Amino acid sequence: MTDQTFWKKVLAELQLEVSSAVFSTLFKHTRLSDISGGVVTIACMTAVIAQLIETRYYALIKTVLDKHTGQNVSVIFTVDASLKKTNGQKSLADAGPLFQIADNISSFAKRHGLFPDYTFEKFAVSTTNQLAFAAASHVAKNPGNSYNPLFIYGGVGVGKTHLMQAAANKIMETRGSARLVLCAGEEFTNEIIEAIRTKSTPSFRHKFRKAELLCIDDVQFIAGKDAVQEEFFHTFNAVLKAGGQIVLTSDKPPAEILKLEARLKSRLEGGLLVDIAPPDFELRTAIFLIKAKDRGIDFPLPLAKLIAASIDDTRGLEGMLTRILSELAMKNSQLSEELIVRLLGKRYHGQNKEANSSLSKPPAKDAFMEAVCSYFGVKSTQVKGKKRDQSIVLPRQILMYLLRIELGTSLTEVGDLIGGRDHTTVMHAVGKISSLVPADEKLRGDILGIKKLIYG
């Protein structure tokens, strides 16, 4: 059996274990790079895809590979840029009729409110946003075909707008579009009011209902305004009926938006809802380093950690970077810990916060057991026991998944922590939860609820 034939068989089995969206986004464009000495090397198209697969589906892939090789293999993920050429996006010439190519993409983007810096490559990914990242990436590759609408929600400064714009930028880059409409919910509202005032609603409707890619940021602002919601309802239906793609962002899920009409809630919940949690310490550090690099600074990692440990939101990080650059330029200062501490002021929590804070120090394994038991109302003895009631099995599998994914605990150690179970049992549980998470909204909510109990 050739390596290619072997890998096709592995992919065929993986395709049965994950959703079609996950398979096409993550697994489809991989190849077997090497298999020798009990080590399987898998090549991925980008570093982000490699990271997502390793983080979320390592156990599942290992289970399938062990089965097909008859060995207890180790799996390594690498990046092969040539996969982009062989399995990349359609060329502009191959683009479907829905998206018409713009003659000048840069000027087009500028006219339509796109920010060229908001790309997938400049979006830092961690466990708090990886599902939203994968969903937006999939939409960018297959606009109008799935995840429609894509509804991204979360607090201020978590990256909702960045992901929405990244999807629009990628579609512009690979297919182009002469009918992109991107605006904020407040802007949509103002345009409706102006159209009614000036009796120009036909022009408004032509602009929005003929959109092939409709992106509305902070859509919650249309709630409570009857005429606006009525127009949005018909716009939504018209774009979907024509095969266009809709991407929306909000500070909360549709069900929690007050004064939003029931029929709109139903429409918005008909696609994919993904949440983005506040960035953890590691992600804030990565975001700060990315922003610094964009401005031409190779920022020292220890100083970036110091800032990320003291500032919790991404906009605050960007503001701090601006202050630092201003200080360096105006006063000819040197970048140092003293300078950072001075600029942080009251927000500075001490130079050892990064080492001692729960933001950077992983919680104890017992914290995961306590959180899962508290969330589901079960006892630790039940989770560790032999009962296979569904009310016990699901919490047990989620606990295995969290210990493996969040803490990187070895399969054997996870098994020991949960009643001395075999590592293959743990692999099965982690693989099952990993495959269900992308499509199961309730399961994602359960996992998010448990994480909030752990991390606060």
Helix/strand/coil for 193:
helix
CA 116 to chain centre: 19
What is the spatial distance between Cα 133 and Cα 443, in angstroms, rounded to a whole number? 18
Q: Are residues 266 and 300 in the same domain?
A: no
Last residue of some domain: 87, 111, 130?
A: 87
pLDDT at 197 over 90: no
Q: Categorize the per-residue pLDDT at 112 as very low, low, confident or very high, splitting at 50, 70 and 90.
A: low
Q: Are residues 254 and 113 in the same domain?
A: yes
- Determine contact, residues 133/163, Cβ cutoff 8 Å: yes
Q: Are residues 400 and 380 in the same domain?
A: yes
What's the pLDDT tens digit per position in 77-93? Answer: 888 877 765 554 433 22
Q: Are residues 102 and 231 in the same domain?
A: yes
- Is residue 149 reached through a cis peptide bond, with omega within 30 degrees of 0 on the bond before it? yes
Last residue of some domain: 53, 87, 121?
A: 87
- Determine contact, residues 34/60, Cβ cutoff 8 Å: no
CATH number of the domain at 125, please.
Answer: 3.40.50.300
**How many domains would you assign to the chain?**
4
Q: Are residues 260 and 137 in the same domain?
A: yes
CATH number of the domain at 78, please.
Answer: 3.30.300.180
Q: How far is CA 106 from CA 103, 111, 112, in A?
A: 9, 9, 10
Name the pTM for this structure: 0.54
What is the pLDDT, as a whole number, of residue 215? 94
Nearest to 60 by CA among 418, 440, 404, 441: 404
Please indicate whether residue 75 or residue 248 has the higher confidence score (pLDDT). Answer: 248
What is the spatial distance between Cα 319 and Cα 155, in angstroms, rounded to a whole number? 18
Q: Are residues 74 and 97 in the same domain?
A: no
Q: Are residues 242 and 97 in the same domain?
A: yes
Q: Are residues 73 and 133 in the same domain?
A: no
What's the pLDDT tens digit per position in 414-435? Answer: 888 999 988 888 888 888 887 7
Please indicate whether residue 147 or residue 431 has the higher confidence score (pLDDT). Answer: 147
Last residue of some domain: 276, 306, 341?
A: 276
What is the spatial distance between Cα 371 and Cα 381, in angstroms, rounded to a whole number? 14
pLDDT at 276 over 70: yes
Which residue's entry shows tokens 């209902």?
A: 209
What is the spatial distance between Cα 8 and Cα 113, in angstroms, rounded to a whole number? 43
Q: Are residues 307 and 263 in the same domain?
A: no
Q: What is the mean pLDDT of the chain?
A: 81
CATH number of the domain at 384, please.
Answer: 1.10.1750.10
Can you count the helices (H) and strands (E) in the chain? 22, 8
Please indicate whether residue 456 or residue 384 has the higher confidence score (pLDDT). Answer: 384
Helix H or strand E segment including 196? helix 185-197
Mean pLDDT over 147-168 rounds to: 91
Q: Are residues 302 and 436 in the same domain?
A: no
Q: Are residues 118 and 255 in the same domain?
A: yes
Q: How many residues does the chain have?
A: 456
CA 3 to chain centre: 32
Q: Categorize the per-residue pLDDT at 133 as very low, low, confident or very high, splitting at 50, 70 and 90.
A: very high
pLDDT at 399 over 90: yes
Host domain of residue 96: 92-276
Q: Are residues 108 and 248 in the same domain?
A: yes
